[in-house]
A and B are shown apart, each in its own frame.
Chain A
């Protein structure tokens, strides 16, 4: 590639489109540097915060501008309003996870800067995944997200469970990545292109879908994406990995990774045949059932939330199915997914974050029994956790409710009312276990003889993160107009 063609690739629009990613990349380098230079923690913290906020601000600029850059760098990356909203969501998810992680590793002399560098790399990968318009860009994004997460999952090296989580995630993730590559190779073999453009017009699309080889490729790619969003039957890795990973990392995986995979799925849904709608809906329901029923019997809250995350992925998959089946409102499925995922990021981020906070304070909280009587001991934290549980359960006045409403609307509009009805009934099952958390906190007293916990003062960063999450959940639930109009 000569400099000339590089210039045509990387024009002004591309610079605007990629500016949020460039900021993060620069921030990463500076952060790495700061770990060897004699500067204090506060500098690197500021650097991290500034990088994330800067990236969000640049996304917001794309969102606010009338003229979006669109497809850039040889039509391989799309920057538009949608990708900007996803980008802001990723930054939010990372920010929440990072704020909660600040004091989390205190006792273990962890490599905080390295941790931060790894964490900062993930939104870069997510943004590439969300904006990817060809399969290779997506793959690069996927790896940029996954490899830091493998390391982060195993970050508490002294704990066997954490190492186990990292290893499991790595092995299965490697399989998923291999599936993806193999699938894209098969698609390339038949279409001669790795771009989603190949599926743009219906004639070419149906021609491609007639090729068995291409279909096999699409199936492999879909399997890989379903692995990342933890859809049935590719969901079994989730509970172990979520449980074993350090809780702030779990928060990041639950919110960011899932959102990024969904962002790509919404873009790439064009490669799935319309006739797949029913199978996708079926997978959605099975995912919801698998998540919800397995969550019912969990005694560890982190594990329960992992299964709940699976169920949420199933719910959101229903929106994908609805749009495949021909939702008459074009773009409404995307809007529903954005809203749903936005509410989920704030809710699950807050919930996992609060668990991290309690864990640090030495409560044995990741079990239900450990949460007993929390409402008496620490009413504010318990109240916030209750709010998040209700939002996960989709009760009105929380963002979770409207998200659920919008997603099921997609299915109802696409004449999938039966699936929607089964879906809402499965979400009643979900309330069964969210309520158990609430029951433990408010309606059961602390078991006799358990050591009284001297609660450390809550870290400022964590308080701030929880307040932001709670405010977002309520704002999206009570006055959602701004969000709905922006999306």
Chain B
């Protein structure tokens, strides 16, 4: 029941906002903030109460929903099935915690059509939480696609100058991937006669690898576009740059994680044979993404676009870590998903704050900001250090685990990924130098006001989390580890099957049968 409450509370909030009169902006903001705070509180309670050994059925909600034809006599019964497990706990908590921050950040930059904005934000939260909690393939797809629509409106209405181009590109790109995934879901449902994710995890790993690879390709395409993995990344800089600050934060913080989460739960856990077979390709794409994203970011002159490109690079780490398919790589990838949400979320918030003051994001328009806005400079430097992976802060732990994990399975890609750490430091520190240090050359910058209480307050929780993860990462990985262990075990079995089949040169199916 908690999960239903968690998922649909934002939707209730959205309906409440809809009922308010058009001009009542204070009430609308208040309802949105209170709703997200309530969800965050609920998220914290769930997180604290979640013990790693918990059976998923503790929180499981299962209601028959409708039926679809299957290859068996009985039709497939699709369930409304929500559950919390090691793969989703961190993502759910991150989503719950990030949203009040996002809502609070809109005080500064959303002035027109507040009502619609809050409605879409809250609807989006329901979509995201549902995506992470769904344990039924059809339900997952439902939430997955529904969460597209709010962002489409957020970018399209409140975005920058090229917002229409950016939002349509984002929508169509993602939709194309999703629909190919839908074809795979249709095939799986028909073949297997169930849409229960856990049942499918048990059944699909026994399919021959060729079959798995078809499914894998369809799923990986959808998730890869969302993450985004090279070469499907071109929508991201546009969407990020044009989105309002809060939209960017949600996009970077949570929406992109839906892609990496999907890779973990479906591509790796559900289709381990295919994941093992596709490992070299995926690791290569991840590692190249790290370097390519970093180089892209280096070349940017727009601060927000720079951070958007750095997202491509950082998510390359996540992909590299997940597809290392080692325990260290998996938990590193998982942790990095959270880290990226925190660090990049903070960076977008900071860029938004300075944009609200100067209405420009061009790097050459700044310089010497540290003397005018010392508090801003403090937060900026902290965030950059967390993002580049300074030991003691969150980024370090994640990157270290990922590089360690990937070194165990493919040293080459690990080394290439490592070089990305250096590039990452280069472009972020260069941007920091250009913005913060030197002398103030542009007169308009002399009179900038420093951060106000609200702006500081909304960032503090994220800062605290960054430090906490950096100092005691096990508080977080501990919750996810048993779930990830199940994944590693599946992968291990698949690897053994593959080795056996390669050495015997027998067809893969026999290898499976022999087990």
Judge whether A276 is part of the interface by a CB distance below 8 angstroms.
no
Within 8 A of B (CB), among A415-457: 417, 420-421, 424-425, 427-428, 431-432, 435, 439, 442-444
Interface contact A443-B156, CB-CB below 8 Å: yes
Interface contact B153-A412, CB-CB below 8 Å: no
Judge whether A328 is part of the interface by a CB distance below 8 angstroms.
yes
Residue of A nearest to B157 (CB): A443
Interface contact A408-B186, CB-CB below 8 Å: yes
What are the residues of chain B within 8 A of A444 when measuring CB–CB? 164
Partner of B67, one of A417, A420, A484: A484
Interface contact A439-B156, CB-CB below 8 Å: yes
Interface contact B67-A481, CB-CB below 8 Å: yes
Interface contact B149-A424, CB-CB below 8 Å: no
Partner of B176, one of A375, A405, A428: A428
In the assembled complex, the Cα of A211 lies from the Cα of B179 at a distance in Å of 42
Interface contact B164-A439, CB-CB below 8 Å: yes
Segment with Cβ contacts to A, from B138-146, B409-417, B453-461: B138-146
What are the residues of chain A within 8 A of B167 when measuring CB–CB? 443
Interface contact A481-B183, CB-CB below 8 Å: no
Judge whether A47 is part of the interface by a CB distance below 8 angstroms.
no
Interface contact A424-B69, CB-CB below 8 Å: no
What are the residues of chain A within 8 A of B163 when measuring CB–CB? 443
Interface contact B190-A424, CB-CB below 8 Å: no
Interface contact B183-A424, CB-CB below 8 Å: yes
Interface contact A428-B149, CB-CB below 8 Å: no
A-B contact pairs, 13 of them (CB 8 A): A375-B116, A396-B142, A406-B68, A409-B190, A412-B183, A424-B180, A425-B179, A428-B172, A428-B176, A431-B175, A442-B157, A443-B156, A481-B67
In the assembled complex, the Cα of A444 lies from the Cα of B157 at a distance in Å of 8
In the assembled complex, the Cα of A328 lies from the Cα of B66 at a distance in Å of 21
Within 8 A of B (CB), among A382-423: 390, 395-397, 401, 405-406, 408-409, 412-413, 417, 420-421
In the assembled complex, the Cα of A431 lies from the Cα of B142 at a distance in Å of 17
Partner of B172, one of A405, A412, A431: A431
Judge whether A66 is part of the interface by a CB distance below 8 angstroms.
no
In the assembled complex, the Cα of A412 lies from the Cα of B69 at a distance in Å of 12
A296 to chain B, nearest CB (A): 12
Judge whether A332 is part of the interface by a CB distance below 8 angstroms.
yes
Residue of B nearest to A444 (CB): B164
Interface contact A421-B168, CB-CB below 8 Å: no
In the assembled complex, the Cα of A124 lies from the Cα of B141 at a distance in Å of 40
What are the residues of chain B within 8 A of A439 when measuring CB–CB? 156, 164, 168
What are the residues of chain A within 8 A of B156 when measuring CB–CB? 439, 442-443
Which A residues lie at the B interface, using CB under 8 A?
328-329, 332, 335, 375, 390, 395-397, 401, 405-406, 408-409, 412-413, 417, 420-421, 424-425, 427-428, 431-432, 435, 439, 442-444, 479-481, 484-485
Interface contact B142-A397, CB-CB below 8 Å: yes
Residue of A nearest to B138 (CB): A405
Interface contact A332-B69, CB-CB below 8 Å: yes
Q: A428-B175, A431-B175 are in contact. Are A408 and B153 (CB under 8 A)?
A: no
Residue of A nearest to B179 (CB): A424
In the assembled complex, the Cα of A443 lies from the Cα of B69 at a distance in Å of 40
In the assembled complex, the Cα of A375 lies from the Cα of B22 at a distance in Å of 13
Q: How many positions in chain B have a CB within 8 Å of any CB in the partner chain?
A: 33
What are the residues of chain A within 8 A of B5 when measuring CB–CB? none
Interface contact B172-A432, CB-CB below 8 Å: yes
B8 to chain A, nearest CB (A): 12
What are the residues of chain B within 8 A of A443 when measuring CB–CB? 153, 156-157, 163-164, 167
Interface contact A409-B186, CB-CB below 8 Å: yes
In the assembled complex, the Cα of A318 lies from the Cα of B146 at a distance in Å of 25
In the assembled complex, the Cα of A425 lies from the Cα of B182 at a distance in Å of 11
Interface contact A409-B68, CB-CB below 8 Å: yes
In the assembled complex, the Cα of A329 lies from the Cα of B73 at a distance in Å of 10
Within 8 A of A (CB), among B56-110: 64-69, 71
What are the residues of chain A within 8 A of B164 when measuring CB–CB? 439, 443-444
A-B pairs, 3 with minimum CB distance: A424-B179, A481-B66, A443-B156
B500 to chain A, nearest CB (A): 30
Partner of B171, one of A401, A427, A435: A435
Interface contact B179-A428, CB-CB below 8 Å: yes
Interface contact A413-B175, CB-CB below 8 Å: no
Interface contact A421-B187, CB-CB below 8 Å: no
B210 to chain A, nearest CB (A): 14
In the assembled complex, the Cα of A262 lies from the Cα of B65 at a distance in Å of 29
In the assembled complex, the Cα of A428 lies from the Cα of B177 at a distance in Å of 10
Residue of A nearest to B147 (CB): A396
What are the residues of chain B within 8 A of A484 when measuring CB–CB? 66-68
Interface contact A390-B149, CB-CB below 8 Å: yes
In the assembled complex, the Cα of A428 lies from the Cα of B183 at a distance in Å of 14
Interface contact A481-B65, CB-CB below 8 Å: yes
Interface contact A417-B66, CB-CB below 8 Å: no
In the assembled complex, the Cα of A431 lies from the Cα of B169 at a distance in Å of 11
Residue of A nearest to B66 (CB): A481
Interface contact A395-B145, CB-CB below 8 Å: yes
B467 to chain A, nearest CB (A): 39
Interface contact B66-A480, CB-CB below 8 Å: yes
- Interface membership of chain B positions 275-295, coded 1 if the CB is closer than 8 angstroms to chain A and 0 otherwise: 000000000000000000000
Interface contact A328-B171, CB-CB below 8 Å: no
In the assembled complex, the Cα of A421 lies from the Cα of B187 at a distance in Å of 12
A402 to chain B, nearest CB (A): 8
Interface contact B186-A395, CB-CB below 8 Å: no
- Interface membership of chain B positions 233-270, coded 1 if the CB is closer than 8 angstroms to chain A and 0 otherwise: 00000000000000000000000000000000000000
B296 to chain A, nearest CB (A): 26
What are the residues of chain A within 8 A of B141 when measuring CB–CB? 396
